[in-house]
Amino acid sequence: MDMASFNDYEYVFSPLKVGRQVLKNRIIFSPMVSDYTTANGEPTQGYIDFVEEQARTGAALITLGATPVNWDTAPDYPAELNVTEDTRINGLVLLSEVAHRHGAKISVELVHAGRGVHPELIQSEYGLAPTPLPIPGQYPYLKEMEFRDMENIIADYVDCAVRLKKAQFDGVNIHAAHGNLIAAFLSPLTNHRTDNFGGSFENRCRFPLMLLEAVREAVGDDFILDMRISGDEMVDGGMRVEEVIEFLKLAQEYLDMVNISAGLIVDWRAQFFTMPPYYQPHCLNRELSRKVKECKDIAIPVSVVGCITNIDEAEDIIASGAADACYIARALLADTEILKKSYRGEPETVRPCLRCHSCAAGGGNHMSCAINPQLGRGYRYWEILPAAKSKKVVIIGGGPAGMMAAQTAIRRGHEVVLFEKSASLGGALNDINKLPFKGDLLRYTDWDAKQTMECGADVRLNTEATPELVMAENPDALIVALGSMPVNPPVPGLDRDNVYGVRDVDSGRKKVSGRVVVCGGGASGCESALALAMEGCEVTLVDRVPLDRFAGGMIHITRGMLMALLEEYGVRILDDRNVEAIDDEGVHVQDRDWRRETIPADYVVNAMGIRPVAPDQFRELIPETYVVGDCADIGTIKRANHSGFDAAMEV
């Protein structure tokens, strides 16, 4: 293959023939529900803008997120796109037009949730499944599908695919992964039928193959028919890659490409493989896709998804023969220029993705990113336009909020002075990015600090701001980003020599070993406890809140994996306990029934929360003052970045 002289990506930027169409490169925008539809599933202007944002990245194919084939039994998530009626075609054409305007092809991931139907969205009196096996806590009323139900569902898939072709889409992705209806037919874990559609491998394949054949016949050979499938369902009794390969040998007659994922979104034990948090390794499904790709009897292109965070990883996957193309979502959201920067030979300038799942928070939160405040805000923030008047801006604090404010203000043409009292930028990120599973955050911190140092701002390290120092700069605007500090509640013994703050422990400034009690079950306490257990400590985690509030505020899949890892590494969790005192015997706690217990401890970690650093001395120095980040409102890195960005956009 030929490659441009200015980059080293021989494979990623080469075309790929998929059926009768050609993709301009090997990067496919992986499907994500964006929460930009109306209650009726119509695309809003925000949805159209988001599709255009995806196309502007340079991805060869955009696949819009899980889209139900009917609204009676199929939906699995609120705010999904409606493609089930011809009256929707006008709105759908707006999506295909903006994708094609930027040279991208566009597809839709068609899904029937099966037993995973959303309890609040189902419009039928029962859900459909090959075998009625309700998911604990989900919709309990399931019907074993009869043949006429199968015919109806196949007709729904055909109807939606034909409609999308009329709307000038280039293809569809048949979602047969993660435990949904098609996957449930294929899997011995969820298909216990005794008729021609269950039992043997051949019988379990029958309905999916009927469906694929019908869709292919309806849309013709010039329409991409892609399929996502779990290469391994990652639970006992689930489908394994060997059966997946055998199924694909049969299904390829109707398919143009297959996408290899893993896990079950409908089972908490395997959700961590469908939407992998930062505890998972990068490129975690590449060996599954490699096994499929190496099967000489499978002739269609094989793509892979799962924690592919940069173009170097994609290049290595394709060059090594593990896949023909890569599905990527989060990295393309974190930096929408990732493909263009990499193509130009500038991969070091790409903003590293945190894999934090902030973009997939759900629950009515539209698509956004913790570290890219421009994402999902439409044409207004595609470009950072110069300010009407250049101003002198002083920023106090070089944490994430201060750094974002500095970079943004410089891009708008302002003169910026940033005071940071420590010897480096990054603030609290420098304390938590040393944990063994925080490599993504460490890369981001280093990138962010470098970008800030080189953005053109006058960055003054080892300089603690005072009102006098600030006013000596004669600023037109002031952005205060002082951050936060630990809470030290009045617990006797909290000042003992063997009691350390969680930031000191996480950063490695303080070393602990042996029996360790972590006081505080928030996200920082839970992650610190996990890291210490991974290092071999005997860890007890204690908090006054009930267990279901431990690591509160985290995205549910990330929290789920964190809690599973705490169990795996043997962390003892004591909920509903108040820490009363710390002494030579250990940590004294009391539960809600007034029962007391002493937990022996060689070391104690204080993770009992943080509070804002008061900005009062700076708040009224000049009229145009903004308070951002933790000193305004304790929150996440997303809140810090967005508040810093918003303030700089207002200056």
Which is nearest to 389 in space by CA: 101, 41, 651? 651
* Cβ pair 305, 326 in contact under 8 A: yes
Residue 162: what pLDDT? 98
Which is nearest to 620 in space by CA: 485, 465, 409, 471? 471
Q: Which CATH architecture has domain 499-608?
A: 3-Layer(bba) Sandwich (3.50)
CA distance 201 to 25: 36
CA distance 103 to 402: 37
| Cα 265 from chain centre | 14
How many Å is the Cα radius of gyration of the chain? 26
| Cα 524 from chain centre | 19
**What contacts 418, CB < 8 A, 6 or more positions away?**
394, 395, 396, 397, 398, 402, 403, 406, 452, 457, 458, 459, 460
CATH number of 16-380: 3.20.20.70
CA distance 479 to 227: 49
Segment 499-509, tens digit of pLDDT: 999 999 999 99
Q: What DSSP designation does 380 have?
A: G
Q: How many CB atoms lie within 10 A of CB 594?
A: 6
Whether 389-485+612-650 and 499-608 share one fold: the answer is: no
Q: What are phi and psi of 65, to 5 degrees?
A: -65, 165
Give the angle subtended at the CA of 28 by the CAs of 22 and 30, to the nearest 5°: 145
* Cβ pair 461, 609 in contact under 8 A: no
Instruction: Specify the length of the chain in residues.
Output: 651
CA distance 258 to 96: 22
DSSP, residue by residue, 112-173: --GGG--TTT--SSSEEESS--PPTTS---EEEPPHHHHHHHHHHHHHHHHHHHHTT--EEE
* Cβ pair 493, 581 in contact under 8 A: yes
Residue 6: what pLDDT? 87
**What contacts 16, CB < 8 A, 6 or more positions away?**
22, 23, 25, 26, 60, 301, 324, 325
Strand pairing class (596-599; 586-591): antiparallel
pTM: 0.94
pLDDT averaged per 10 residues in sequence order, the chain, 651 residues = 78 98 98 89 93 96 96 92 96 97 98 95 95 91 97 98 98 98 98 97 98 98 98 97 98 98 92 95 98 98 98 98 98 97 96 92 74 86 91 98 98 98 97 96 98 98 97 98 94 97 97 98 97 98 97 91 97 97 97 95 97 94 97 92 97 97
Segment 567-594, tens digit of pLDDT: 999 999 999 999 999 999 999 999 999 9
Which is nearest to 392 in space by CA: 378, 406, 372, 373? 406
Instruction: Count CA atoms within 13 Å of residue 269 on its CB side.
Output: 10
Containing H/E element for 580?
Answer: strand 577-583
* Cβ pair 273, 252 in contact under 8 A: no
Which is nearest to 18 in space by CA: 63, 50, 54, 58? 63
Q: At what angle do helices 439-454 and 400-411 cross, to 10 degrees?
A: 40
Token digits of residue 645: 């960005």
CA distance 198 to 204: 5
Residue 378: what pLDDT? 73
Q: What are phi and psi of 227, to 5 degrees?
A: -145, 135
CA distance 87 to 361: 30
Task: List Cα–Cα distances, 105 to 57, 110, 165, 252, in angstroms.
Answer: 12, 16, 12, 21
Encoded amino acid at 465, one letter? A
CA distance 587 to 469: 45
The superfamily CATH assigns to domain 389-485+612-650 is NAD(P)-binding Rossmann-like Domain (3.40.50.720)
Domain edges within the chain:
16-380, 389-485+612-650, 499-608
Q: What DSSP designation does 622 have?
A: S
| Cα 207 from chain centre | 32
Helices (H) and strands (E) in the chain, counts: 20, 27
